[in-house]
Amino acid sequence: MLLIKKYRLAKNITLRELSVLSDCSYGYLSQLENGKRRNPSWTLIKKIAHALRICPMTLLGGYCSQFCSPKCYYYDKYFD
């Protein structure tokens, strides 16, 4: 299950703002948040995570100490 809503609310971003930032439709994001849609593409997961400024692995619920730090591949590539 994607943790879009959790991180979106934590960052005070509306669903409409996230839609624009991630280049994804509002309706599709809403369906992902509410569990009505599943299995988005890895490309979309990365876009959403980048818009939220988190590692895609965190968005997937796979946070561990090796992700989202200056040593993380995604951190270096997208956040600096």
Cβ–Cβ < 8 Å for 58, 11: no
Torsion over CA: 24, 15, 55, 33 (sign)? negative
Scored b (16 or more CB within 10 A) or e, 42-61 reads eebbbbbbbbbebbbbbbee
Identify residue 32 by its one-letter amino acid code. Answer: L
pTM of the full predicted structure? 0.79
Q: Return averaged pLDDT per consecutive 10 residues of the chain, 80 residues in all.
A: 88 96 96 92 91 84 57 58
Which numeric CATH code is attached to 4-79?
Answer: 1.10.260.40
What confidence score (pLDDT) does residue 53 get? 85
For the chain, the domains span 4-79
What confidence score (pLDDT) does residue 16 get? 97
Q: Give phi and psi for 56, each to the nearest 5.
A: -55, -30
User: How many Cβ atoms from other residues are within 10 Å of residue 4's Cβ?
Assistant: 23
